[in-house]
């Protein structure tokens, strides 16, 4: 996939690698999430962990520790600073078994506050 993208003039590079162990997932969680509504930057982005409600305080949404597909080595965060990268992945990713877990819109057509255009997950195609 990387080679084909390159032939199309697009550089696919991962940010921070794909695999993320539990300790790293937990560290990211404490860095980005807060129990305080007042501290929350995006109160719409909320998750429950160990029976408690948490809010996003900075950066991008992060998975509940232990539930990230990065923990299975299935997800990759691509560097999408070049808009051509996202456009290429959106068009060609699925034919390589890569899908976007957090799409731009929800089923009802409204904006998805959890949208992660850089986060792509590999699935085996039949």
Whose Cβ is closer to Zn ion: residue 39's or residue 66's? 66
- Write down the number of H helices and E strands in the chain: 3, 6
- Between residues 15 and 37, which has the closer beta carbon with respect to Zn ion? 15
Is 119 strand, coil or helix? Answer: strand
Among 68, 80, 74, residue whose Cα is nearest residue 15: 80
94, 102 in Cβ contact below 8 A? no
CB of 12 to Zn ion, least distance (A): 14
Binding residues (CB under 5 A) for Zn ion: these are 75, 77, 119
Q: Give the nearest distance from C-beta 59 to Zn ion in angstroms.
A: 12
Separation of alpha carbons 102 and 31, rounded Å: 20
Nearer to Zn ion, 16 or 39 (CB): 16
- The CB-of-108 to Zn ion minimum distance in angstroms stands at 24
CB of 75 to Zn ion, least distance (A): 5
Nearer to Zn ion, 55 or 114 (CB): 114
Q: Which helix (H) or strand (E) holds 4?
A: helix 2-7
């Amino acid at each position: 996939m990387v080679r084909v993208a390159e032939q199309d003039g697009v550089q696919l590079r991962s940010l921070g690698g794909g695999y993320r162990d539990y300790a790293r997932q937990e560290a990211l969680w404490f860095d980005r999430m807060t129990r305080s509504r007042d501290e929350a930057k995006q109160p719409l982005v909320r998750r429950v962990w160990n029976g408690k409600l948490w809010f996003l305080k900075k950066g991008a949404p992060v998975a509940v520790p232990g539930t990230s597909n990065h923990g299975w080595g299935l997800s990759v965060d691509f560097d999408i600073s070049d808009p051509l990268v996202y456009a290429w992945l959106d068009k060609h990713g699925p034919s390589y078994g890569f899908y976007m877990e957090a799409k731009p819109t929800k089923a009802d057509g409204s904006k998805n506050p959890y949208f992660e255009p850089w986060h792509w997950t590999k699935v085996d195609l039949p």
